[in-house]
Chains A and B, each alone.
Chain A
């Protein structure tokens, strides 16, 4: 054993070691204070930023209902089978593993997996904590089959997604529009959410026009994720607020009448039915029905529909997606004559008693060919009343020349032609009213008398939409008061508060006096009820209808077509509704369009024995 003397010497170097250690520990404490207390918040934010993810939860889209509360658009649950990719480890080939898993699942359930590899990969990379839907919109038996085996199918889950549904099918499709999902929300929203689940976005019609109200406000879910991107836990959810309810002015029963009447249009074999119909409440400007054929079923725009089905509709040469009532431009033909007549009367250039002898045609200026009348053998001596009722072109050529293009185009402008009607839904065409100044500016050609003659009978560059012509009819019905048409009656937010109320909105009054207006109205009454009137097929027993037919020639991609028109209103004394019917490829307005209007009037006013249901339309029963 070593024996040594007790060692208790004072050692300054030991003291130095002690000092170094004290300084070292103090340095650690200062550094820890800096990291934990001074900059603690900074690191806390960093920690949250790397592990917290917000998921956007889209709100349930609001309902669209008709004026009586009948549902036109709402949501139904779509049962989807989804898989969670965060259960797949990064170490394996995820896409292969997922596809293997899906084949096994598919075999079990008797369905083919149809996910593309890049879809799986993109979902795994970017949206891992979210379920990836594999089979969408399952039939009840498939849901049941899955539910039975669910416990043996780990990683797969039944999720319920809202899908837009149009219970009435294609009814009023052009008015309602449709929805689809797009990735692009507004940027702020995308920045706020790590996982952005988009809303359905309205693409046409009311769905688009009222999109901001129908959408509601999204909710959010906050999750904590691991470095591998899998969900560690849920930190809470903010419920989405469902969208508002939009009430339309249309009446489903009337809409159906109009669509059925339009669909039943009699056409010679080989002609395809394309056209539109608009029914307005003349007292308010409410659109009671609006139809366009051919039509489409907005229910197909849902994620479960195979792409070719949608493409077939989108690329159909007959353009079923086009709302012809507001988006189609056609020459008005003879339905413009009441405007010409009123313009002449108002300007004082002509009088109702002016009589013209119609020989079936007339030479105007040095026009290369004579101007012909619709009645090639001529009407004989004819006055203003009969010129409207029997639709004599020669009378209008002559009287139109007397009136002059300025007065006619001014009156067309007072009726709202060449301008938007202000209809609140959809992309509206303005139509076109030609003027001498326009012709010079555009074609460097002088306006000729022949142009005036053509304008008088609603041809010569003149273009209108069925909606505009319905407004023309409504303006005659209202004895000169012109209203904006509208279809959104009310918008109610999800809390019940009314955020928008459709109101009658007067856009102006005609400058013509009541007597002058009455001359034209009476002539239009004659067109329907006079035995020689061209609109006789629109007549309904016991109902006084005023109207005007039109058959306008126009050139299209399909060649030269006759578009057939009927515009009118009823009842004559206390007008309630105005109607415009357009058939793109018609025999004539009187033969093709007027009977459609007749059917609509008859059923609307309960004058038809076979349709008792419509007699309940209390508003229209006189």
Chain B
């Protein structure tokens, strides 16, 4: 019975959304291969195999998340949120230190990034909270405070890792949800203005403190400087940004061909970060503007399918969930692609479905599963 119903529901899936996701997954495996390619006799790193495994695991997660009614999932929102905060605390206490930041929780050789789970949990919690406010209470300013506080807790914990990129992603999710939930524009603008002022004062102070404590210049600050002045320290802080722009630009209209991207092959794009943060640079270098267009096109399918699902959701909760997922994905895409061409500062914001990495692949697929879920359950079974 259960299985039959599940099959029924799978048939009801938004297959366009699924197709775009599958296509991006295939592209991901090919270009993770290319980005980590070493010519023989050097051993070929197994990143692409790992990525395939993550997609396989992700697919089961995707189906589970898609089929269990989202309203059921959201009833547990408080628990998800509590678990996510717990993991964020745990990573600060017992996280694995990589390049001076504690972002990983290790477990039998596998690591997860609690920041990724926190994004999803916060998204669900905020949606659930905003869904439960009445039409009148949504017009009060207090709702903004509560929503910002719900976002603020994981935001601060993630900033402490530190992981500026992941933390910042929470902001558009929160504001996007409040926006579509009908919070008054005046209140949103006030909150935004307060946030900008806070950041303008807070960040430099934080950087100064860190600089004072670490005795060296803060890399986050350097990244902003590089963004504003691309020629600042081209062999140091500006290296990744400049090499990425060269990679993308030298791809031209049609690219250099698969596995012909010299920027990643020769290591001008650092091997340690290329499969994650600069995978788009590899695609753009090897496939040119045509490749970029295809990737952006697939994302467009993904995002607008998501918005269609939001518009067709059976209730406000579904609409909020779908919109949150769309905003989250869009923000990742815009920051990451923008970063590869110097439009955005370099932050470790990965590209959904394409970037190498288990936590983010799973998080992205869970988010897309939620979208599917809202679509499937737009009718009452």
A: residues with CB less than 8 A from B are: 1-2, 4-8, 11, 13-14, 16-18, 21, 24-25, 27-29, 31-33, 35-37, 39-44, 46-47, 50-51, 224-228, 232
Chain A residue nearest in CB terms to B182: A13
- Binding stretch for chain A, among B44-52, B85-93, B262-270: B262-270
* B179 contacts A46, C-beta separation under 8 Å: no
Instruction: Kindly state whether residue B197 has any CB partner on chain A within 8 Å.
Output: no
With A and B bound together, what is the CA distance between A580 and B213 in angstroms? 88
B322 vs chain A, min Cβ distance (A): 9
Point out the residues of chain A lying under 8 angstroms from B72, CB to CB. Answer: 1
With A and B bound together, what is the CA distance between A4 and B312 in angstroms? 14
Point out the residues of chain A lying under 8 angstroms from B334, CB to CB. Answer: 24-25, 28
Point out the residues of chain A lying under 8 angstroms from B338, CB to CB. Answer: 28, 31
Q: Which of B71, B248, B327 contacts A17 (CB 8 A)?
A: B327
Q: Which of B182, B311, B330 contacts A21 (CB 8 A)?
A: B330
* B249 contacts A14, C-beta separation under 8 Å: no
A118 vs chain B, min Cβ distance (A): 24
Instruction: Kindly state whether residue B319 has any CB partner on chain A within 8 Å.
Output: yes
Chain A residue nearest in CB terms to B306: A21
> Across chains A and B, which 5 residue pairs bring their CB atoms closest together, nearest first?
A43-B249, A40-B252, A47-B250, A36-B289, A7-B315
The contact string, 1 if C-beta is below 8 Å from chain A, for chain B 312-337, is: 11111111000100110010011001
Given contacts A14-B307, A32-B292, A47-B262, contact A2 B75 (CB under 8 A): yes
Chain B residue nearest in CB terms to A228: B267
With A and B bound together, what is the CA distance between A407 and B253 in angstroms? 86
* A39 contacts B310, C-beta separation under 8 Å: no
Point out the residues of chain A lying under 8 angstroms from B182, CB to CB. Answer: 13
Given contacts A13-B180, A47-B262, contact A32 B250 (CB under 8 A): no
* A16 contacts B266, C-beta separation under 8 Å: no
Chain A residue nearest in CB terms to B255: A36
* B265 contacts A232, C-beta separation under 8 Å: yes
* A36 contacts B326, C-beta separation under 8 Å: no
Point out the residues of chain A lying under 8 angstroms from B293, CB to CB. Answer: 29, 32
B contact residues, total (Cβ < 8 Å): 56
With A and B bound together, what is the CA distance between A176 and B321 in angstroms? 90
Instruction: Kindly state whether residue B224 has any CB partner on chain A within 8 Å.
Output: no
Point out the residues of chain A lying under 8 angstroms from B326, CB to CB. Answer: 17, 21
Point out the residues of chain A lying under 8 angstroms from B150, CB to CB. Answer: none
Instruction: Kindly state whether residue B176 has any CB partner on chain A within 8 Å.
Output: yes
Given contacts A32-B284, A36-B284, contact A14 B323 (CB under 8 A): yes
* A40 contacts B179, C-beta separation under 8 Å: no
With A and B bound together, what is the CA distance between A11 and B309 in angstroms? 13
With A and B bound together, what is the CA distance between A14 and B266 in angstroms? 45
With A and B bound together, what is the CA distance between A468 and B312 in angstroms? 110
Chain B residue nearest in CB terms to A226: B266
The contact string, 1 if C-beta is below 8 Å from chain A, for chain B 276-295, is: 00000000100011001100
Most B CB within 10 A of own CB, among A13, A33, A226, A232: A13
Given contacts A44-B252, A51-B268, contact A11 B246 (CB under 8 A): no
B: residues with CB less than 8 A from A are: 69, 71-72, 75, 176, 179-180, 182, 245-253, 262-263, 265-268, 284, 288-289, 292-293, 296, 299-300, 303-304, 307, 310-319, 323, 326-327, 330, 333-334, 337-338, 341-343, 380
With A and B bound together, what is the CA distance between A40 and B285 in angstroms? 10
* B307 contacts A47, C-beta separation under 8 Å: no
* B311 contacts A11, C-beta separation under 8 Å: yes
* A17 contacts B253, C-beta separation under 8 Å: no
Q: A25-B334, A36-B251, A50-B268 are in contact. List 18 more A-B contacts (CB 8 A).
A: A2-B315, A4-B314, A6-B314, A8-B314, A13-B179, A21-B303, A21-B330, A27-B343, A28-B338, A32-B293, A32-B341, A35-B245, A35-B249, A36-B248, A47-B247, A51-B262, A224-B266, A225-B266
* A36 contacts B337, C-beta separation under 8 Å: no
With A and B bound together, what is the CA distance between A21 and B330 in angstroms? 7
Chain A residue nearest in CB terms to B251: A36
* A37 contacts B252, C-beta separation under 8 Å: yes
With A and B bound together, what is the CA distance between A132 and B127 in angstroms? 67
With A and B bound together, what is the CA distance between A519 and B192 in angstroms? 119
Chain B residue nearest in CB terms to A233: B39
B79 vs chain A, min Cβ distance (A): 16
Chain A residue nearest in CB terms to B291: A36
Point out the residues of chain A lying under 8 angstroms from B312, CB to CB. Answer: 8
Q: Which of B253, B266, B303, B307 contacts A40 (CB 8 A)?
A: B253
Point out the residues of chain A lying under 8 angstroms from B319, CB to CB. Answer: 7, 11, 14
* A43 contacts B284, C-beta separation under 8 Å: no
Point out the residues of chain A lying under 8 angstroms from B268, CB to CB. Answer: 47, 50-51, 226-227
A219 vs chain B, min Cβ distance (A): 24
* A40 contacts B250, C-beta separation under 8 Å: yes
B206 vs chain A, min Cβ distance (A): 28
* B284 contacts A227, C-beta separation under 8 Å: no
Point out the residues of chain B lying under 8 angstroms from A14, CB to CB. Answer: 180, 307, 310-311, 319, 323
A267 vs chain B, min Cβ distance (A): 69
Point out the residues of chain B lying under 8 angstroms from A228, CB to CB. Answer: 267
Q: Which of A11, A27, A44 contacts B249 (CB 8 A)?
A: A44
With A and B bound together, what is the CA distance between A31 and B293 in angstroms? 12
Q: Which of B180, B252, B315 contacts A5 (CB 8 A)?
A: B315
* A40 contacts B296, C-beta separation under 8 Å: no
With A and B bound together, what is the CA distance between A2 and B318 in angstroms? 12
Chain A residue nearest in CB terms to B289: A36
B267 vs chain A, min Cβ distance (A): 5
Point out the residues of chain B lying under 8 angstroms from A226, CB to CB. Answer: 266-268
Point out the residues of chain A lying under 8 angstroms from B313, CB to CB. Answer: 7
Chain B residue nearest in CB terms to A43: B249
Chain A residue nearest in CB terms to B319: A7
